[in-house]
Chain A
Amino acid sequence: MKEGFGFRSLHPIIIFMYYAGGITFGMLLFHPLILLVGWVMAVIVNVHLDGGREWRKWCIPMLSGVVLIAVVNPILSHRGRTVLYYLGDIPITLESVIYGATLAISMLNLLTFFVTYRLVMTEQKFLFLFTRISPKAALVAMMAMGLVPRLRRRMQELILIQRTRGVTISEGSLPQRARNGARLVGTLLSWTLEDALQTADSMQARGYGTGTRSSYLGFRFRMRDGWTLVGFVSCAILLLSAWGNGHGFMTIYPRLGSFSLSLGDGLALAAYVVYLAIPLGWEWRDRRAWLITNYRR
């Protein structure tokens, strides 16, 4: 499953809109059930795009951060009618526990959703989009990104070589180790600056900055992009109108409301789920097309 297949084959603008919208809706909606369903959808999108490999890698750090939010909130905030118990002198209220949990789910939802961004929005697409708005900054960001893996290899090499001289970060007192670490970074910097500036001269020699930047891949706005856009916009209108009429979030303070979803909440939830699922439609369609053309001739 490479570029040109399913979700990944959509136009960069559509992909960008999908992520911008998904994050916005994830922050606007504040109801534990809706957010949980959103999280499940985000996991499904993850599984469809790369079998959930990337998501599993982030699972533990995401969960630990989110649990921290859920735990800290009731300790800091004492608002709410229903006191569960007293932690020393501090009242722990049901409302602030629920608020913390909802905030944590909301955060988990956003983080899980954004894991797929890296899979879908490749560097080419990012540059294609942002060279129109901020060409130099986008180029700098992409160059820095490209440098990171190379510098990481160099850093490992440096750590290995310097260890033979006794410059190591795994032994010795804390200040000594910190000093050695910074010395490694300094060496890496002077090493990298030398050849990076040669790269820059090479760029200059090949005519960087003499015209507008062109893209190697030609992204065309196709029929499927148009349909996806229509789907996004109609879902967004539905969701925002439900939200504007006061649905899609739960009353927590001062007294905990009911968890059950009203009709408007249900509408917002449906619009949210459909919005998140639209790119999967293209995944399914392309998968089917691939199977049909390859096996059922």
Chain B
Amino acid sequence: MNRLGEGNGKGLLSAKWIIFPVAIAYLGLAYLSLQRGNSLLIGLVLVLLSMIPFLLRFERRERKARELMLIAVMAAVATISRIPFATLLPGFTPVTFVVMISGIVFGAEAGWMVGAVTALVSNLFLGQGPWTPWQMFAWGMAGYTAGLFAHRSVWRRRRLPLVLFGAAWGFLFGWIMNLTLAIDQWVQTHSWEAVLGKYVLSFPFDLIHATANVFFVLTFGPSWIALLERYRRKYGALERIEATKGDKSSEQIPAVNG
């Protein structure tokens, strides 16, 4: 078990490869555990493994300090944005909205990073638990898909498509978070009714989440996109290749806000 990297380039490489034997060992353990009727581990292992490709992609590119800082700021603001809404309805938070907007403006990879870091950091203050990897996955995917979604055409940055997208992620987020207990119900009873029951129980919360997303996109979506676009252009961070080739796509953004 030589987990100690040597600190230079070679050590870095060897430290990275230790993931694979550990992952295989954990997959085996989780499979055995599942056979004995305990599904907690397999879900966590699979969710953690799903993050590896995103992390590798993020690490591969050269990043400027500004880009890293921008992502960190978005994640911190998303974390803090829970505070003023703590006195309103539970679950009515703009976190998903902030993550989505980051994905839309800064691209899919940055969106994933903002989502995952937000989940990790906000749980440091609200309580870590087995749900942290799931939240990292769910918010990370919300940011990633938002980036992919808005990448195709400028039209999709308008209010209506974003509202639909936000509503969809309000429900998807809840459904992903339910998976742990839903799989547990399935392993326990092998009945779809119990699994469905879990989803029915959580429906009101998902509805609140979706409503929150719709509300924030409707009232603040375009202005936030314009604000972040401005910072992206001003500081030249996380620039899209298309945006640098021809300035047409970036010129169209003020028109979208109107």
Task: Specify which chain A residues have a CB less than 8 angstroms from the CB of B177 in the assembled complex.
Answer: none
| A197 located at the interface, meaning its Cβ lies under 8 Å from any Cβ of chain B in the complex | yes
Of all chain A residues, which has the CB nearest B8? A212
Pair A253/B4 contact, Cβ less than 8 Å: no
Given A133-B15, A203-B65, verify A179-B124 contact (CB < 8 Å). no
Pair A27/B44 contact, Cβ less than 8 Å: yes
Pair A169/B88 contact, Cβ less than 8 Å: yes
Task: Specify which chain A residues have a CB less than 8 angstroms from the CB of B8 in the assembled complex.
Answer: 212
Pair A148/B88 contact, Cβ less than 8 Å: no
Count: A-B pairs, CB below 8 Å: 215
Task: Specify which chain B residues have a CB less than 8 angstroms from the CB of A132 in the assembled complex.
Answer: 5, 11-12, 15-16
Pair A177/B65 contact, Cβ less than 8 Å: no
Task: Specify which chain A residues have a CB less than 8 angstroms from the CB of B89 in the assembled complex.
Answer: 174
Task: Specify which chain A residues have a CB less than 8 angstroms from the CB of B83 in the assembled complex.
Answer: 152, 155
State which of B168-176, B219-227, B241-249 sits at the interface with chain A. B219-227
By secondary structure, the A interface counts as: helix
Pair A185/B38 contact, Cβ less than 8 Å: no
Q: How far is the CB of B137 from chain A (nearest CB, A)?
A: 15
State which of A136-144, A258-266, A271-279, A283-291 sits at the interface with chain B. A136-144
Q: Residue-by-residue, is A30-67 near B (CB-CB < 8 Å gives 1, otherwise 0)? A: 10000000000000000000000000001001100000
Task: Specify which chain A residues have a CB less than 8 angstroms from the CB of B16 in the assembled complex.
Answer: 132-133
Q: How far is the CB of A296 from chain B (nearest CB, A)?
A: 38
Given A103-B184, A178-B215, A181-B84, verify A144-B66 contact (CB < 8 Å). no
Count of chain A residues near B, Cβ 8 A:
78
Query: In the docked arrangement, what's the CA distance between A188 and B220, Å?
Result: 14
| B251 located at the interface, meaning its Cβ lies under 8 Å from any Cβ of chain A in the complex | no
Query: In the docked arrangement, what's the CA distance between A111 and B95, Å?
Result: 23
Task: Specify which chain B residues have a CB less than 8 angstroms from the CB of A184 in the assembled complex.
Answer: 84
| A135 located at the interface, meaning its Cβ lies under 8 Å from any Cβ of chain B in the complex | yes
Given A140-B72, A209-B65, verify A193-B231 contact (CB < 8 Å). yes
| A199 located at the interface, meaning its Cβ lies under 8 Å from any Cβ of chain B in the complex | yes
Q: How far is the CB of B148 from chain A (nearest CB, A)?
A: 20
Of all chain A residues, which has the CB nearest B17? A133
Query: In the docked arrangement, what's the CA distance between A203 and B66, Å?
Result: 9
Pair A189/B189 contact, Cβ less than 8 Å: no
Q: How far is the CB of B103 from chain A (nearest CB, A)?
A: 15
Pair A201/B3 contact, Cβ less than 8 Å: no
Pair B121/A145 contact, Cβ less than 8 Å: yes
Among B40, B55, B85, which residue has its beta carbon within 8 angstroms of that of A178? B85
Of all chain B residues, which has the CB nearest A184? B84
| A282 located at the interface, meaning its Cβ lies under 8 Å from any Cβ of chain B in the complex | no
| B32 located at the interface, meaning its Cβ lies under 8 Å from any Cβ of chain A in the complex | yes
Among B26, B59, B124, which residue has its beta carbon within 8 angstroms of that of A135? B59
Among B70, B84, B127, B197, which residue has its beta carbon within 8 angstroms of that of A111? B127
Task: Specify which chain B residues have a CB less than 8 angstroms from the CB of A24 in the assembled complex.
Answer: 26, 29, 41
Q: Residue-by-residue, is A131-169 near B (CB-CB < 8 Å gives 1, otherwise 0)? A: 011111101110111011001100100010000000001
Task: Specify which chain A residues have a CB less than 8 angstroms from the CB of B59 in the assembled complex.
Answer: 134-137
- Chain A residues 100-128 with CB under 8 Å of chain B are 103, 106-107, 110-111, 114, 117-118
Residues of B within 8 A of A (CB): 1, 3-5, 7-9, 11-12, 15-16, 19, 26, 29, 32-33, 36-38, 40-41, 44, 55, 58-59, 62-66, 68-73, 75-77, 79-81, 83-85, 87-89, 92, 94, 98, 113, 117-118, 120-121, 124-125, 127-130, 181, 184-185, 188-189, 191, 194, 197-198, 201, 212, 215-216, 219-220, 223-224, 227, 231, 235, 237
What are the 3 closest A-B residue pairs judged by CB atoms, nearest first? A200-B69, A143-B72, A147-B76
Instruction: List 8 interface pairs A-B (beta carbons < 8 Å), by A numbering.
Output: A76-B198, A79-B191, A132-B5, A145-B121, A155-B80, A155-B83, A185-B81, A193-B73
**Extra A-B contacts (11), CB below 8 Å, given A132-B11, A141-B120, A182-B220:** A111-B127, A136-B58, A140-B71, A141-B72, A144-B118, A178-B92, A185-B80, A197-B231, A200-B69, A200-B70, A249-B38
